């Protein structure tokens, strides 16, 4: 089932941006770290509870070149993975 509420990043998570627009996402509770590519970083920054997934996808289409047609599927899958890991929830 597709979640209709706006996703929001867990405030515990730490995002460290680097010189090449990639970033490391760190979970202080578990010590886990994840490499994030520039579009993942862009998505992460928009997981503030104010942006529906559809709006994030729309912005990606506007702001990036060579966006694949199935970008909405990719974004939803990415966010679902973050939710599964407990890094993201949905605004009540």
Partner 1 sequence: MSECKCSDKTEEKRKFSLNCIYFYLTEGCNLKCRHCWIQPKYQGEGKQYPSLNFETFKSIIQQAKPLGLSSVKFTGGEPLIHPNISEMLDYVKEQDLRLVVETNGVAATPELCKKIKTCKNPFVSVSIDGSEADSHEWVRGVPGCFDKAIQGIKNLVEAGFRPQVIMSIMRHNKSQMEAVVRLAESLGAGSVKFNLVQPTARGEKMHESGETLTIEELLETGQWVENELSKTSKIKLYYSHPMAFRPFGRMFGDNGVGCGVCGIFGIIGVLGNGKYALCGIGETVPEFIFGDATVDSLKDVWENTKMLNDIREGLPKRLEGVCAECLMKNRCLGSCIAQNYYSNRNLWAPYWLCAQAYKRGLFPASRLMPKTTTKTLEYAK
Residues found near partner 1 in the complex (CB under 8 A): 14, 16-20, 22-26, 28, 31-37, 39-40, 71, 74-75, 77-78, 81-82, 85
Query: What's the start-to-end Cα distance of the chain, in Å?
Result: 17
From the CB of 88, what's the least distance to partner 1, in Å?
11
- Of 21 and 48, the one with the shorter C-beta distance to partner 1 is 21
Beta bridge partners of 2: none
What DSSP designation does 46 have?
A: T
* Of 25 and 53, CB closest to partner 1: 25
Helical H runs in the chain? 38-45, 53-63, 71-84
Residues 6+ apart with CB under 8 A from 29: 12
Environment class of residue 74 by beta-carbon count within 10 Å: exposed (0-12), middle (13-18) or buried (19+)?
middle
Name the residue nearer to partner 1 (CB basis): 65 or 92: 65
Output the smallest distance, CB 31 to partner 1, in A: 7
CB of 48 to partner 1, least distance (A): 18
Distance in Å, CB of 42 to partner 1, minimum: 10
């Amino acid at each position: 089932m597709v979640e209709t509420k706006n996703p929001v990043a867990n405030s515990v998570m730490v995002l460290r941006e680097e010189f090449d627009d990639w970033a490391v996402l760190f979970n202080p509770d578990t010590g886990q770290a994840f490499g994030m590519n520039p579009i993942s970083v862009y998505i992460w920054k928009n997981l503030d509870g104010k942006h529906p997934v559809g709006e994030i996808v729309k912005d990606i289409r506007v702001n990036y070149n060579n966006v694949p047609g199935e970008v909405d599927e990719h974004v939803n899958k990415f966010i679902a993975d973050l939710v599964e890991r407990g890094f993201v929830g949905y605004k009540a």
